[in-house]
Amino acid sequence: MFFIVGIGLGGVKDITVKGLEVVKSADEVYLENYTSILSVGKESLEEYYGRELKLADREFVEQGCEEMLEKGRNSDVVLLVVGDPFSATTHTDLVLRAKKAGVDTQVIHNASILNAVGCCGLQLYSFGETVSIPFWMDGWSPDSFYDKICHNKERGLHTLCLLDIKVKEPTPESLTKKKKDYLPPLFMSVSDAAEQLMEIVKKRSIETDQQLPVDGETNCVGLARVGSETQQIIYCSLNEMKHKNLGEPLHSLVIIGDLHPLEEEFLALYL
């Protein structure tokens, strides 16, 4: 059996009881570590589970995972994933590949930022399409996510912005080489995200005479390390968010649509 197990967001004990049983009894356990990270490291997980974990990085998941799936045919193989197993396209792809290869699969769900974001008091039913904000680099500065945020805003909906992470990215120089060198990991903070958004606002303001639906005065919520003991939430304008420091990753940003009185009252706790 090939198991894909969500380990949630915060600490070692956020795995479900069912998930832990599977981890303890499996033949091999891999830990996916490039689409997200837990606030605790691999060593803490290994200590808590009482067993060794093999790291599954991007190269492994995207290229070398056939072997892992094949092992699932005759033994129990587990892939641990931060959040819920279906929170990244690459995991959905993996489940599909396993199913198509005729390997029995089992998915064990858990919380992910897509539902845990409710902890700030915003209603999950009032969110529109989720967007991802990528790091701009080397002249590559996409901004289509801004249009999606504006579209949600115009309909009164909130937007969850998932902030880029770069883990185990090869250096540009080593891209074509056999032996890769890697850049240090990079995690986008809420202030980075607010800054990029404000740059887009600045550019768009020049291009139009009309009032933009989302600008520096728009309110937003910054969230850091949701579900962990050091979780932090802050509520302010985008302009102000540029200067906030919420500390260690992971961060997420919500651009606010229309507020229900209950949401307003809840957010006031985070002013």
Q: Which single residue is written with the structure tokens 């974001």?
A: 117
Q: Which is nearer to its own copies, 155 or 202 (CB)?
A: 155
189, 251 contact by CB (below 8 A):
yes
> Does 265 sit near its own copies (CB under 8 A)?
yes
Q: For its own copies, which residue of 36, 112, 189, 191 counts as binding (CB under 8 A)?
A: 112
**Longest distance between any two alpha carbons in the chain, whole Å:** 65
Count the site residues for its own copies by CB under 8 A. 54
Q: How far apart are CA 248 and CA 35, in angstroms?
A: 17
Stretch that binds its own copies, among 105-113, 165-173, 207-215, 236-244 (CB under 8 A): 105-113
User: With contact defined as beta carbons under 8 Å apart, do 227 and 10 qualify?
Assistant: yes
Q: Between 89 and 176, whose beta carbon lies closer to its own copies?
A: 89
Question: Smallest distance, Å, CB 127 to its own copies?
Answer: 7
| 157 forms part of the interface with its own copies (CB under 8 A) | yes
127 beta partners: 158
Scan residues 209-228 and list those touching its own copies (CB under 8 A): 227
Single-letter code of the amino acid located at 48: Y
Which stretch, 16-24, 33-41, 163-171, 241-249, contacts its own copies (CB under 8 A)?
16-24
**Member of 60, 77, 79, 85 binding its own copies (CB under 8 A):** 85
Tell whether residue 31 is a contact of its own copies (CB under 8 A): no
Residues annotated within a binding site: 9, 84, 112-113, 163, 226, 251
Q: In terms of Cα–Cα distance, which of 67, 79, 3, 1 is closest to 35?
A: 79
Closest of 160, 161, 164, 159 to residue 135, by C-alpha: 164
- The region of 57-65, 72-80, 129-137, 206-214 touching its own copies under the rule CB under 8 A is 129-137
Residue 244's nearest CA partner among 194, 187, 186 is 194
